[in-house]
Amino acid sequence: MVEKIHEVKTTELKINGLETEEEDNSQPYKLCAICHSLGGAAMLMYVVTRRIEEKPHRLSRLILLSPAGFHQDSNLVFTTMEHLFLMMAPILSRIIPAFYIPTRFFRMLLNKLARDFNNYPAVGGLVQTLMSYVVGGDSSNWVGVLGLPHYNMNDMPGVSFFVALHLAQMKHARKFRMYDYGSPAANMEFYGSPEPLDLGEYYGFIDIPVDLVAGKRDNVIRPSMVIKHYKLMKGAGVEVSYNEFEYAHLDFTFSHREELLAYVMSRMLLLEGVTKQQLPSNQKSLKLKKEKVNS
Protein backbone atom coordinates (compact mmCIF):
# COMPACT_ATOMS: atom_id res chain seq x y z
CA MET A 1 0.00 0.00 0.00
CA VAL A 2 2.74 2.47 0.95
CA GLU A 3 4.71 1.62 -2.17
CA LYS A 4 1.57 2.23 -4.24
CA ILE A 5 1.19 5.66 -2.63
CA HIS A 6 4.82 6.38 -3.48
CA GLU A 7 4.24 5.31 -7.08
CA VAL A 8 1.18 7.55 -7.42
CA LYS A 9 2.86 10.57 -5.82
CA THR A 10 6.01 10.33 -7.93
CA THR A 11 3.89 9.94 -11.06
CA GLU A 12 1.91 13.06 -10.14
CA LEU A 13 5.11 15.01 -9.63
CA LYS A 14 6.45 13.90 -13.01
CA ILE A 15 3.21 14.92 -14.72
CA ASN A 16 3.43 18.34 -13.09
CA GLY A 17 7.02 18.69 -14.23
CA LEU A 18 8.49 18.58 -10.73
CA GLU A 19 11.59 16.73 -9.64
CA THR A 20 10.88 13.35 -8.06
CA GLU A 21 14.14 13.24 -6.12
CA GLU A 22 15.81 15.85 -4.02
CA GLU A 23 19.54 16.52 -3.91
CA ASP A 24 20.05 14.32 -0.86
CA ASN A 25 18.07 11.45 -2.47
CA SER A 26 15.18 11.91 -0.05
CA GLN A 27 11.62 11.69 -1.32
CA PRO A 28 10.03 14.99 -2.35
CA TYR A 29 6.87 14.56 -0.29
CA LYS A 30 6.00 13.87 3.34
CA LEU A 31 3.85 10.91 4.32
CA CYS A 32 2.42 10.64 7.82
CA ALA A 33 0.65 7.48 9.04
CA ILE A 34 -2.14 7.86 11.60
CA CYS A 35 -3.11 4.48 13.01
CA HIS A 36 -5.28 3.03 15.73
CA SER A 37 -4.96 -0.21 17.71
CA LEU A 38 -3.95 -3.07 15.38
CA GLY A 39 -3.08 -0.55 12.69
CA GLY A 40 -0.50 0.97 15.02
CA ALA A 41 1.13 -2.40 15.64
CA ALA A 42 1.12 -3.16 11.91
CA MET A 43 2.85 0.12 11.04
CA LEU A 44 5.52 -0.44 13.69
CA MET A 45 6.13 -3.89 12.23
CA TYR A 46 6.30 -2.39 8.77
CA VAL A 47 8.82 0.32 9.66
CA VAL A 48 11.09 -1.99 11.66
CA THR A 49 11.11 -4.82 9.11
CA ARG A 50 11.69 -2.44 6.18
CA ARG A 51 14.65 -0.92 8.00
CA ILE A 52 16.06 -4.38 8.79
CA GLU A 53 15.72 -5.28 5.11
CA GLU A 54 17.40 -1.96 4.23
CA LYS A 55 14.43 -0.87 2.14
CA PRO A 56 12.80 2.58 2.29
CA HIS A 57 9.58 2.74 4.29
CA ARG A 58 8.56 6.11 2.73
CA LEU A 59 7.10 7.42 6.00
CA SER A 60 7.94 10.74 7.62
CA ARG A 61 6.05 10.40 10.91
CA LEU A 62 3.91 7.95 12.87
CA ILE A 63 0.94 8.99 15.01
CA LEU A 64 -0.23 5.90 16.87
CA LEU A 65 -3.51 6.01 18.78
CA SER A 66 -3.65 3.31 21.45
CA PRO A 67 -1.38 0.97 19.47
CA ALA A 68 -1.48 -2.78 19.99
CA GLY A 69 1.65 -4.84 20.64
CA PHE A 70 1.87 -5.28 24.40
CA HIS A 71 -1.11 -6.85 26.13
CA GLN A 72 -0.03 -8.50 29.37
CA ASP A 73 -1.87 -5.87 31.43
CA SER A 74 -5.42 -6.95 30.57
CA ASN A 75 -8.55 -8.37 32.14
CA LEU A 76 -9.62 -11.94 32.89
CA VAL A 77 -11.68 -12.27 29.69
CA PHE A 78 -8.70 -11.53 27.45
CA THR A 79 -6.47 -13.84 29.48
CA THR A 80 -9.00 -16.66 29.12
CA MET A 81 -9.22 -16.06 25.37
CA GLU A 82 -5.42 -16.09 25.16
CA HIS A 83 -5.16 -19.57 26.68
CA LEU A 84 -8.11 -20.83 24.64
CA PHE A 85 -6.58 -19.66 21.37
CA LEU A 86 -3.16 -21.10 22.11
CA MET A 87 -4.59 -24.44 23.22
CA MET A 88 -7.13 -24.85 20.42
CA ALA A 89 -5.18 -23.20 17.58
CA PRO A 90 -4.30 -26.44 15.70
CA ILE A 91 -7.99 -27.36 15.52
CA LEU A 92 -9.61 -23.94 15.19
CA SER A 93 -7.28 -22.82 12.40
CA ARG A 94 -8.65 -25.62 10.19
CA ILE A 95 -12.32 -24.81 10.69
CA ILE A 96 -12.39 -21.05 11.41
CA PRO A 97 -10.39 -19.05 8.84
CA ALA A 98 -11.68 -15.74 10.19
CA PHE A 99 -14.15 -14.14 12.56
CA TYR A 100 -16.89 -12.53 10.51
CA ILE A 101 -20.64 -12.67 9.86
CA PRO A 102 -21.21 -15.14 7.00
CA THR A 103 -23.95 -14.83 4.36
CA ARG A 104 -26.03 -11.84 3.41
CA PHE A 105 -28.93 -13.00 5.59
CA PHE A 106 -27.00 -13.02 8.87
CA ARG A 107 -25.36 -9.69 8.06
CA MET A 108 -28.82 -8.25 7.42
CA LEU A 109 -29.99 -9.68 10.75
CA LEU A 110 -27.09 -8.08 12.63
CA ASN A 111 -27.71 -4.80 10.84
CA LYS A 112 -31.36 -4.92 11.90
CA LEU A 113 -30.36 -5.64 15.50
CA ALA A 114 -27.93 -2.72 15.44
CA ARG A 115 -30.73 -0.39 14.34
CA ASP A 116 -32.98 -1.76 17.08
CA PHE A 117 -30.27 -1.17 19.67
CA ASN A 118 -30.20 2.49 18.66
CA ASN A 119 -33.98 2.86 18.37
CA TYR A 120 -34.70 1.23 21.74
CA PRO A 121 -32.41 2.87 24.32
CA ALA A 122 -33.18 0.32 27.04
CA VAL A 123 -32.11 -2.61 24.85
CA GLY A 124 -29.13 -0.69 23.53
CA GLY A 125 -28.08 0.24 27.05
CA LEU A 126 -28.23 -3.39 28.16
CA VAL A 127 -26.10 -4.55 25.22
CA GLN A 128 -23.67 -1.68 25.82
CA THR A 129 -23.31 -2.69 29.48
CA LEU A 130 -22.75 -6.34 28.62
CA MET A 131 -20.15 -5.47 25.98
CA SER A 132 -18.37 -3.18 28.41
CA TYR A 133 -18.12 -5.96 30.97
CA VAL A 134 -16.78 -8.39 28.35
CA VAL A 135 -13.92 -6.03 27.47
CA GLY A 136 -13.06 -5.22 31.06
CA GLY A 137 -15.20 -2.16 31.63
CA ASP A 138 -14.19 -0.20 28.53
CA SER A 139 -16.86 2.47 28.01
CA SER A 140 -16.57 2.76 24.22
CA ASN A 141 -19.79 3.17 22.25
CA TRP A 142 -19.91 -0.46 21.12
CA VAL A 143 -23.55 -0.25 20.04
CA GLY A 144 -22.99 2.93 18.05
CA VAL A 145 -20.11 1.36 16.13
CA LEU A 146 -22.42 -1.34 14.76
CA GLY A 147 -24.47 1.40 13.13
CA LEU A 148 -21.58 2.63 10.97
CA PRO A 149 -22.08 2.36 7.18
CA HIS A 150 -19.48 -0.37 6.64
CA TYR A 151 -21.53 -2.74 8.82
CA ASN A 152 -24.17 -3.67 6.25
CA MET A 153 -25.72 -6.71 4.62
CA ASN A 154 -23.46 -6.62 1.57
CA ASP A 155 -20.13 -6.34 3.32
CA MET A 156 -18.78 -6.34 6.84
CA PRO A 157 -15.33 -6.22 8.49
CA GLY A 158 -13.76 -9.42 9.72
CA VAL A 159 -10.65 -10.50 11.61
CA SER A 160 -8.39 -13.30 10.44
CA PHE A 161 -8.00 -16.17 12.88
CA PHE A 162 -4.23 -15.87 12.61
CA VAL A 163 -4.34 -12.18 13.55
CA ALA A 164 -6.20 -13.15 16.72
CA LEU A 165 -3.71 -15.97 17.32
CA HIS A 166 -0.83 -13.55 16.86
CA LEU A 167 -2.31 -11.28 19.53
CA ALA A 168 -2.62 -14.26 21.87
CA GLN A 169 1.02 -15.18 21.20
CA MET A 170 2.21 -11.67 22.00
CA LYS A 171 0.16 -11.54 25.18
CA HIS A 172 1.50 -14.92 26.28
CA ALA A 173 5.12 -14.02 25.46
CA ARG A 174 4.72 -10.57 27.06
CA LYS A 175 6.61 -9.19 24.06
CA PHE A 176 5.79 -7.31 20.89
CA ARG A 177 7.07 -9.78 18.36
CA MET A 178 6.35 -11.26 14.96
CA TYR A 179 4.07 -14.23 14.37
CA ASP A 180 5.35 -17.56 15.71
CA TYR A 181 4.98 -20.23 13.03
CA GLY A 182 5.10 -22.98 15.63
CA SER A 183 8.51 -24.55 15.13
CA PRO A 184 12.16 -23.43 15.05
CA ALA A 185 12.48 -24.71 11.48
CA ALA A 186 9.51 -22.69 10.24
CA ASN A 187 10.65 -19.58 12.07
CA MET A 188 14.15 -20.03 10.68
CA GLU A 189 12.71 -20.07 7.16
CA PHE A 190 10.81 -16.82 7.65
CA TYR A 191 13.02 -14.89 10.06
CA GLY A 192 16.43 -16.51 9.90
CA SER A 193 16.24 -17.36 13.61
CA PRO A 194 14.52 -20.08 15.66
CA GLU A 195 12.41 -17.47 17.46
CA PRO A 196 10.21 -14.74 15.97
CA LEU A 197 11.73 -11.27 15.83
CA ASP A 198 11.25 -9.32 19.04
CA LEU A 199 10.27 -5.98 17.54
CA GLY A 200 10.87 -4.12 20.79
CA GLU A 201 14.55 -5.00 20.58
CA TYR A 202 14.75 -3.40 17.13
CA TYR A 203 13.08 -0.10 17.96
CA GLY A 204 16.45 1.54 17.45
CA PHE A 205 15.89 1.06 13.71
CA ILE A 206 12.98 3.51 13.76
CA ASP A 207 14.34 6.65 12.12
CA ILE A 208 11.24 8.86 12.13
CA PRO A 209 9.36 10.70 14.90
CA VAL A 210 6.66 8.69 16.65
CA ASP A 211 3.73 10.11 18.62
CA LEU A 212 2.05 7.68 21.01
CA VAL A 213 -1.41 8.39 22.39
CA ALA A 214 -3.20 6.42 25.12
CA GLY A 215 -6.74 6.52 26.48
CA LYS A 216 -7.11 6.86 30.23
CA ARG A 217 -10.41 4.93 30.10
CA ASP A 218 -9.15 2.41 27.55
CA ASN A 219 -9.44 -1.10 28.99
CA VAL A 220 -8.70 -2.89 25.73
CA ILE A 221 -5.17 -1.49 25.39
CA ARG A 222 -4.40 0.13 28.70
CA PRO A 223 -2.14 3.18 29.05
CA SER A 224 0.50 1.06 30.79
CA MET A 225 0.92 -0.93 27.58
CA VAL A 226 1.32 2.20 25.45
CA ILE A 227 3.84 3.50 27.97
CA LYS A 228 5.83 0.30 27.45
CA HIS A 229 6.16 1.19 23.76
CA TYR A 230 7.25 4.66 24.81
CA LYS A 231 9.92 3.49 27.26
CA LEU A 232 11.42 1.04 24.78
CA MET A 233 11.51 3.67 22.04
CA LYS A 234 12.96 6.27 24.36
CA GLY A 235 15.62 3.84 25.49
CA ALA A 236 16.47 3.06 21.87
CA GLY A 237 16.95 6.73 21.02
CA VAL A 238 13.77 7.16 18.97
CA GLU A 239 12.28 10.65 18.74
CA VAL A 240 9.04 9.80 20.53
CA SER A 241 6.31 11.65 22.41
CA TYR A 242 3.53 10.40 24.68
CA ASN A 243 0.13 11.86 25.44
CA GLU A 244 -3.08 10.74 27.12
CA PHE A 245 -6.71 11.64 26.58
CA GLU A 246 -9.78 10.84 28.66
CA TYR A 247 -10.89 8.31 26.03
CA ALA A 248 -12.01 4.71 25.85
CA HIS A 249 -10.66 2.46 23.10
CA LEU A 250 -13.07 3.28 20.27
CA ASP A 251 -13.32 6.97 21.12
CA PHE A 252 -10.17 7.60 19.09
CA THR A 253 -11.88 6.67 15.84
CA PHE A 254 -15.60 6.93 16.56
CA SER A 255 -16.11 10.12 18.54
CA HIS A 256 -14.08 12.57 16.38
CA ARG A 257 -13.55 14.93 19.29
CA GLU A 258 -12.08 18.31 18.55
CA GLU A 259 -9.23 18.05 21.04
CA LEU A 260 -7.94 14.87 19.39
CA LEU A 261 -8.25 16.35 15.90
CA ALA A 262 -6.35 19.43 17.05
CA TYR A 263 -3.62 17.30 18.62
CA VAL A 264 -3.17 15.15 15.51
CA MET A 265 -3.03 18.23 13.29
CA SER A 266 -0.44 19.83 15.57
CA ARG A 267 1.78 16.75 15.25
CA MET A 268 1.36 16.64 11.48
CA LEU A 269 2.39 20.29 11.25
CA LEU A 270 5.74 19.33 12.75
CA LEU A 271 6.66 17.59 9.51
CA GLU A 272 9.48 19.26 7.62
CA GLY A 273 8.35 21.65 4.94
CA VAL A 274 5.63 23.33 7.01
CA THR A 275 6.47 27.00 7.19
CA LYS A 276 6.03 29.18 10.24
CA GLN A 277 3.48 31.25 8.36
CA GLN A 278 1.24 28.21 7.93
CA LEU A 279 1.10 27.31 11.60
CA PRO A 280 -0.95 30.24 12.95
CA SER A 281 -3.36 29.94 10.01
CA ASN A 282 -4.10 26.30 10.76
CA GLN A 283 -4.37 26.91 14.49
CA LYS A 284 -6.79 29.76 13.79
CA SER A 285 -8.98 27.58 11.60
CA LEU A 286 -9.08 24.90 14.30
CA LYS A 287 -10.03 27.52 16.88
CA LEU A 288 -12.80 28.90 14.69
CA LYS A 289 -14.09 25.40 14.03
CA LYS A 290 -14.12 24.66 17.75
CA GLU A 291 -16.04 27.86 18.49
CA LYS A 292 -18.58 26.94 15.82
CA VAL A 293 -19.06 23.47 17.35
CA ASN A 294 -19.49 24.93 20.85
CA SER A 295 -22.06 27.42 19.61
Question: What residue segments make up the domains of the chain, in order of their start?
Answer: 1-29, 31-70+199-273+280-294
Residue 289: pLDDT over 70: no
What is the Cα–Cα distance from 255 to 258, expressed in whole angstroms? 9
The CATH class given to the 31-70+199-273+280-294 domain equals alpha beta
Does the pLDDT of residue 23 top 50, yes or no? no
The dihedrals phi and psi of 81, each to the nearest 5 degrees, come to -65, -35
Average pLDDT over residues 239-247: 93
- Other CB atoms within a 10 A radius of the CB of residue 175 amount to 19
Averaged pLDDT of the chain? 83
Specify the pTM: 0.82
- The C-alpha atoms of residue 280 and residue 273 are separated, in whole angstroms, by 15
Q: Can you give the pLDDT at residue 12? A: 78
DSSP at 203: G
CB neighbours of 226 closer than 8 A, spacing ≥ 6? 66, 67, 212, 213, 214, 242
Q: What is the mean pLDDT of residues 8-24?
A: 66
Q: Bigger pLDDT: 91 or 118?
A: 91
Rounded distance between C-alpha atoms, residue 160 and residue 153, angstroms: 19
Q: Model confidence over 194-236: pLDDT tens digits? A: 999 999 999 999 999 999 999 998 889 999 999 999 999 999 9
Q: Which of 163, 176, 164, 223 is nearest to 48 (CA)?
A: 176
Q: Express each pLDDT in 28-41 by its tens digit.
A: 788 899 999 999 99
Q: Is the pLDDT of residue 133 over 90?
A: no
Dist. CA 71–CA 214, nearest whole Å: 13
Check whether 162 has a pLDDT greater than 70: yes
- Condensed to tens digits (0 to 9), the pLDDT of residues 164-173 reads 999 999 999 9
pLDDT digits (tens, 9 = 90+) for 51-106: 999 998 989 999 999 999 999 988 888 888 899 999 999 898 889 888 888 888 88
Average pLDDT over every residue of 185-199: 92
